[in-house]
Amino acid sequence: MRVLLTGGAGYIGSHTALCLLQAGHDVIVLDNLDNSSPESLRRVQELTGKQAPLIVGDCTDEKTVTRVFEQYPIDAVIHFAGLKAVGESVAKPLKYYQNNLDATMVLCKVMPKYNCNVLVFSSSATVYGTNQEMPLREDFPTGCTNPYGWTKWISERILTDVAAADPTRSFILLRYFNPIGAHESGRIGEDPAGIPNNLMPFICQVASGKLDHLRVFGDDYPTRDGTGERDYIHVMDLAEGHLAALEYAIKRSGVEIFNLGTGTPYSVLDIVHTFEQANDLKIPYEITPRRPGDIAVCYADATRAKELLHWEAKRDLNAMCRDAWNWQKQNPRGYNG
């Protein structure tokens, strides 16, 4: 299959590109490099011995997307391209709605002109909003608490409506839980700009001495140790989930939703302690008040993906912590170091 990865130079996209190339597929990347570097794809090539051509361009621009389809016959699209910083989305909602929704709509418009019907979409567990019942199942009610989340929710809606109107379409909505870690080589990984918002990149920068300590946002949640619990998933497991989703989608039509998580929640302190043990170092931390907008617990019911996609996460928390640090250690300044 020849697969177009929008946003394929980014964190999850580059790991997925590697998996697809290793599985014998051809990969084309369309990325505006807003939050990534072409170096990620150069390293994917170094690891696989295969090239994924990069088209530097914007997925919200219909002419650009059309040009890509004119240039390459494409069997399927994995749509990673999107802005993802929750805080920024609250400050600049229009930027998020415009980028994330236009990109989804432009793809929906251009793809059928080239008989390309299969699309796998990067959604997020954030669409489950403040659901209290765990584990989260795909048929639970949805709703969001910030503009970023709503762009995922509305994209899911758009894709569902477009597929309902055209029975030839096959769309898969993947709701990712918390991807962390890196390829085991340490050559590709997560390269956040500025001070990281998310837990694992923050811990990695504390470990490297770039930041002096971790702030644990609240120890008064109704959880085992009082800190927030999440479903962390190794980015390589997540990448493999995309391969399974593609194989499923090409044989069918309609819309399907899958959680991609492990089904096991870990607390902030579980992560800190496992990271310390796996890598034999100390992570100084202090307990601070809760971060506004955070929920206590969030984890997946991962059975649907197991039953229908024949996929489940294989790597444990130890591997996630080891691989995250291996990447950080080798690339203290990310791709541009």
Site residue total, ligand UD1 (CB under 6 A): 19
Of 33, 294, 307, 310, the residue at the interface with ligand UD1 (CB under 6 A) is 294
114 versus 217: smaller Cβ distance to ligand UD1: 217
HSE at residue 180, side-chain half, CA atoms within 13 A, is: 31
Q: Does position 14 bind ligand UD1 by CB under 6 A?
A: no
Q: Which of 69, 70, 72, 97 is nearest to 83 (CA)?
A: 97
Task: Select from ligand NAD, ligand UD1, none the partner in contact with residue 201, using the beta carbon and a kind-dependent cut-off of 5 to 8 Å.
Answer: none
- 34 lies in the binding site for ligand NAD (CB under 6 A): yes
The candidate with the shortest Cα–Cα distance to 316, out of 284, 285, 277, is 277
Q: How far is CA 199 from the centre of its chain?
A: 15
- Stretch of 35-43, 164-172, 208-216, 237-245 contacting ligand UD1, by CB under 6 A: 208-216
Q: Out of ligand NAD, ligand UD1, none, which partner does residue 202 contact, by CB within 5 to 8 A per kind? A: ligand UD1
Smallest gap from residue 282 Cβ to ligand NAD (A): 26
Pick out residues in 64-123 that bind ligand UD1 (CB under 6 A): 86
Task: Give the DSSP letter string of 224-273.
Answer: SSSS-EE-EEEHHHHHHHHHHHHHHHTT--EEEEEEES-S--EEHHHHHH
Annotated catalytic, 285?
Answer: no
Confirm or reject binding of residue 131 to ligand UD1 (CB under 6 A): no
Point out the catalytic residue in the list 148, 176, 232, 299.
148
Instruction: Report d(CA 265, CA 296) in Å as an integer.
Output: 11
Q: Pick the closer one to ligand UD1 by CB: 188 or 199.
A: 199
Angle 210-213-214 (CA atoms, 0-180°, nearest 5)?
Answer: 110
Q: Cα(257)–Cα(247) distance, rounded to whole angstroms?
A: 15
Site for ligand NAD in 136-195 (CB under 6 A): 176, 179
Q: Please choose which of ligand NAD, ligand UD1, none residue 69 contacts, taking the beta carbon within 5 to 8 angstroms, the exact cut-off set by kind.
A: none
Nearest to 17 by CA among 36, 4, 32: 4
Place of tokens 């770039």: 210
Per CB under 6 A, 268 contacts ligand UD1: yes
Q: Which residues are catalytic?
A: 148
For ligand UD1, the binding residues (CB under 6 A) are 86, 124, 126, 149, 178, 197-199, 202, 214-217, 228, 230, 268, 291, 293-294
